[in-house]
Structure 1
Amino acid sequence: MTDPVEFFDARALRLVEAPIPPLSTEERTAMDRFWDESVALQPALFDGPAVACLGVENAGAELLLSWARVTYRYRALRRVESCSWLPASVFVTVLQPVTEGGLVVGRSSSATAYPGRWGTPGGSAEPPAEGEVLDLAGLRRHAAQELVEEIGVVADPEDMTVWAVTRGEHGNIGVHFLAPAAPTALVLKHHEVLAEAERTRGAGPELDRLTVVRSVENVKSLASTADFLPQVVARYFQQQAASRA
């Protein structure tokens, strides 16, 4: 059974860059070995730039997140026994409501790192160029980009609001944004056009199927989900019910 995710209720988020904690020669060798094994099993993995969370401090109304520039192979440290540092990921997701009521969720295709897993559109945060800062505006732009790339829906980053920050499996930090509502038929059409374009160029959509969930029970009926999805959906509908009341 998946452990419950933790919600942070801070009203502001500040990100501070820090150096990568040092690794011993043995830890680095083991990391590289486990990474190579993972790639052999899942060729979709690639060693691109990523953001690792080094710590989270809830300082009153502000959430302080320290982070470091890494690559995806650092996640293999989670398999190294008694490692001195276990990196947590930072990712963004988008809650895309539909005007008829409900949230859009998608299933990751077989070409992704998590095939068959249902979740909201999103992806791992990427570090900015050297000398530039990672901030909330950058995460918001990244979330809007993921929305376009995964379901074909265009949203102005300025129209997307920070809805929640969560901590889940491996200490991973999720920054969840809320997008403006759109008609279900329009969302599905955008995804259909996107998927066909991806197939035409010999690739394939990152999300091979979309559906709309209108309750936690809908989420429970899905075969495999991101760890945060049941609680995020539950909280979203609780807030919707409270606002109507």
Structure 2
Amino acid sequence: MAAMFVAVLQPCDDGRLLVGRMSPTTSAPGRWQPPGGTPEPPPDGAALDLDVFRLHAARELAEETGSDTAADALVPGPVVLDAQGSLGFLFIVPPRPARELRKRKHYGELARTEIASGVDPEFDRVELIGSLSELRALPGPLASCLELVAGRFLGA
């Protein structure tokens, strides 16, 4: 079923890209994707515009990775149409140090907090990928637009 979504491309300072695997309790268990989700409809009479998408993308990044990136730091990236006909608005955020993302500092703290409160994290694993071959080697399905987006981002 076609939908609208936002996603965030989180690079690290060595050029790799963060991807997460959806946990078993989500609507797409095991699927690798960038942080993101379906935007919530604005209140009656409010516009569904780039600012709404940017705010939602920043919220998804925080919820899924624990990142404290401000919404105004998200730069509009490509707009994609995936294999199911869903329209995606992608944003790019400033790079973070690879060691910070590798240690999963933000993600690890977030996951521990959620599990302690009885909530399953949306991502059960995060990885840094530097090439399409690394992406393709991940165990499990990929979000339909991830290979195209990662290929463009990684220069493949």
* Residue in structure 2 matching 1:169, options 77, 83, 92: 83
C-alpha displacement of 1:155: 1.0
SS of the residue corresponding to residue 232 of structure 1 reads helix
1:189 aligns with 2:117: no
Aligned to 2:145: 228
Aligned to 2:58: 144
Provide the C-alpha distance between the structure 2 equivalents of 1:152 and 1:99, rounded to a whole number of angstroms. 18
Give the total of aligned pairs. Answer: 153
Aligned to 1:128: 42
C-alpha displacement of 1:100: 2.1
C-alpha displacement of 1:103: 0.3
Asked if structure 1 preserves the Cα contact closer than 8 Å seen for 2:65 and 2:106, the reply is yes
Aligned to 2:114: 198
C-alpha displacement of 1:174: 0.6
C-alpha displacement of 1:122: 0.2
Q: Any idea what the Cα deviations from partners look like across 1:170-225, whole Å, max 9, x if unmatched? A: 21001110011001332311100000000000112100100000001011112211
Asked if structure 1 preserves the Cα contact closer than 8 Å seen for 2:66 and 2:106, the reply is yes
C-alpha displacement of 1:102: 0.2
Q: Any idea what the Cα deviations from partners look like across 1:9-55, whole Å, max 9, x if unmatched? A: xxxxxxxxxxxxxxxxxxxxxxxxxxxxxxxxxxxxxxxxxxxxxxx
TM-score under structure 1 normalisation?
Answer: 0.61
* Residue in structure 1 matching 2:4, options 90, 106, 120: 90
Aligned to 2:133: 217
Asked if structure 1 preserves the Cα contact closer than 8 Å seen for 2:8 and 2:90, the reply is yes
Aligned to 1:104: 18
| Percent identity between the two aligned chains | 39
Provide the C-alpha distance between the structure 2 equivalents of 1:127 and 1:172, rounded to a whole number of angstroms. 16
C-alpha displacement of 1:104: 0.2
Letter in 1 for 2:72: E
Letter in 1 for 2:20: G
Asked if structure 1 preserves the Cα contact closer than 8 Å seen for 2:8 and 2:36, the reply is yes
SS of the residue corresponding to residue 171 of structure 1 reads coil
C-alpha displacement of 1:235: 0.5
Aligned to 1:13: none
The answer for unaligned runs of 5 or more in structure 1 is 1-74, 76-87, 240-245
Letter in 2 for 1:148: A
The structure, 1 or 2, with the larger RCO (C-alpha pairs under 8 Å, 6+ apart) is: 2
Letter in 2 for 1:237: L
Output the aligned Cα RMSD. 1.2
Letter in 2 for 1:228: C
Greater strand proportion? 1
> Once superposed, which parts of structure 1, at least 4 consecutive aligned residues long, lie more than 3 Å away?
none
Provide the C-alpha distance between the structure 1 equivalents of 2:31 and 2:98, rounded to a whole number of angstroms. 21
C-alpha displacement of 1:238: 1.6
C-alpha displacement of 1:125: 1.5
Provide the C-alpha distance between the structure 1 equivalents of 2:99 and 2:40, rounded to a whole number of angstroms. 31
